[in-house]
Amino acid sequence: MNYHANAKTTQHQRKLIKKSEQKNKELAKNLGISATTVAKWKKRDDVKDKSSRPKNIKTAVPLTLYPMIEMLRKNWFCDMDIIWQALRQTVLPQVSRSSVYRHLVRVGLEDRDALRPTKTRKVGKFRMCPPGFLHVDVFYLPKIDGRKRYLFAAIDRATRGLTVQVYDKHHSESAVLFLQHCRQFYPFKIYRILTDNGGEFTNRYYRNIHGGLAKGIHPFGDACRKHKIRHVMTKIKHPWTNGLIERTGATIKNATINRYRYDSPAEMIAALYGFQRYFNEHRPYKAMGHKTPKQLTEEWFKKQPKRFFREPYLSTTS
């Protein structure tokens, strides 16, 4: 039972008051309340608290206009100023802007953006494939000693094996060097690489000084063709296509540069390489049955050893 905030009696006491034949003053003294309270409950028909809400509520906006305000907001997504001006110029010239806002708050319509329908993108799953399909991206690192540095990262779709390298530039030469590192790092043949459309990976959407599309073979694409690796790129403005490495990059940052402050580039780079080793050897991957990349690599080696050109015992070190 919820009592009024200032209630001095309980329902049990109120029933005793109604049944008692004592005088009001005597009964009030016994219960520790006032005689006025005793008299009030003797006259009442029941022992429940009455609502403190007034019988007639006066509002600046008539009740008959509430449906119109709510319709303009929910169905037409009108701005509050538009609703206010519509009322002023038609049926209620004296209405204030704050009165309209108070009603929108009362009915939970004050946030117009929350009312708009949102497009939900269906989240798909990666197609299963054997080791050798890399997701590659580059991330900015914080300035130390006034110099910019960039983190190139690659993760294998099948084993979730991760490798990272830090470079002073994020141009095509760094991308080619990182490709060479990946070929040495992974114990299996790389047959496909997925990147975004950054200038370090492609020039197909870039224009020359004359306004025409850039011609010539990009060094990264040329290096992929040389090693018989298929280079595929994400669709423009569709970063979720390469979401595996995007999410991995956020994980790396949250565990290192976003959490700690480093006093030297060597300290930061050592932390990044240390996280790589932890990621590969000790961090279980939920989407892969809570197995580490090292365990997944060893399982693939047992199932399809012909895909490997060496045993994977060195695949988890930088």
For the stretch 258-312, pLDDT in tens is: 989 999 999 999 999 999 999 999 988 888 888 999 999 999 999 999 999 988 8
> 21 versus 142: which is more confidently predicted?
142
Q: Cα separation of 159 and 132, whole Å?
A: 9
What is the share, in percent, of the chain residues with pLDDT greater than 70?
88
Residue with tokens 């029933």: 15
Averaged pLDDT score across all residues of the chain: 85
Q: Does the pLDDT at position 206 exceed 80?
A: no
257-285 burial, b if ≥16 CB within 10 A, otherwise e?
beeeebeebeebbebbbebbeebbeebee
pLDDT band at 161 (very low <50, low <70, confident <90, very high): very high
pLDDT at 214: 63
Q: How far apart are CA 151 and CA 139, in angstroms?
A: 5
Q: How far apart are CA 82 and CA 90, in angstroms?
A: 12
The residue among 56, 109, 213, 220 whose CA lies nearest residue 154 is 220
Mean pLDDT of 240-246: 83
Residue 167's beta-bridge partner residues? 150
Bridge partners (DSSP) of residue 151 are 139, 166
Please check the confidence at residue 205 and state whether its pLDDT lies above 70. no
What's the rounded mean pLDDT across residues 191-198? 92
pLDDT level of residue 159 (50, 70, 90 thresholds): very high
Q: What is the pLDDT of residue 182?
A: 95
Minimal CA–CA distance to 33: which of 47, 61, 14? Answer: 14
Q: How far apart are CA 211 and CA 207, in angstroms?
A: 5
Look at residue 211 in the predicted model and tell me its pLDDT. 54
Distance between CA atoms of residues 237 and 30, nearest Å:
79
Residue 205 · residue 197 · CB < 8 Å: yes
What distance separates the 2 farthest-apart alpha carbons in the chain?
108
Q: Indicate if the pLDDT at residue 6 is higher than 70.
A: no
- Please tell me whether residue 134 adopts helix, strand or coil conformation: strand
Kindly list the distances between the CA atom of residue 166 and the CA atoms of 18, 141, 157, 175, 231, in Å, as whole numbers in the listed order: 85, 9, 22, 11, 22
* Phi, psi angle pair for 187, to nearest 5°: -85, 5
Identify the weakest region by mean pLDDT among 11-25, 49-63, 213-227, 259-273. 49-63
Mean pLDDT across the stretch 73-92? 86
Whether residue 196 contacts residue 240, with contact meaning beta carbons closer than 8 Å, is answered with no
Domain ranges of the chain: 1-53, 63-112, 133-314
Q: Length of the chain in residues, anyone?
A: 318
pLDDT in tens, 247-256: 999 999 999 9
Average pLDDT over residues 96-110: 89
Interatomic CA distance for residues 171 and 293, integer angstroms: 29
List, in order, residues 6 or more apart from 239 with CB less than 8 Å away.
196, 246
Fold for the domain defined by 133-314 = Nucleotidyltransferase; domain 5 (3.30.420)
CA–CA dist 167, 149 (Å, integer): 6
Task: Write down the pLDDT at residue 4.
Answer: 65
Query: How large is the average pLDDT for residues 71-92?
Result: 86
Q: Is the pLDDT of residue 124 over 60?
A: no
What radius of gyration, in Å, describes the C-alpha atoms of the chain?
36
What gap in Å lies between CA 184 and CA 178, rounded to an integer?
10
pLDDT at position 22 is 84
12/9 Cα distance (integer angstroms) = 8
Least confident of 5-14, 101-110, 162-171: 5-14
pLDDT of residue 58: 66
Crossing angle between the packed helical segments 172-185 and 219-226, to the nearest 10 degrees: 30
Question: What mean pLDDT do residues 180-195 have?
Answer: 95
Name the least confident of 48-52, 93-97, 121-125: 121-125
What's residue 188's pLDDT? 94
- For residue 143, how many C-alpha atoms fall within 13 Å in the half-sphere facing its CB? 4
pLDDT tens string 12-27? 888 888 888 788 888 8
Q: What is the pLDDT of residue 120?
A: 60
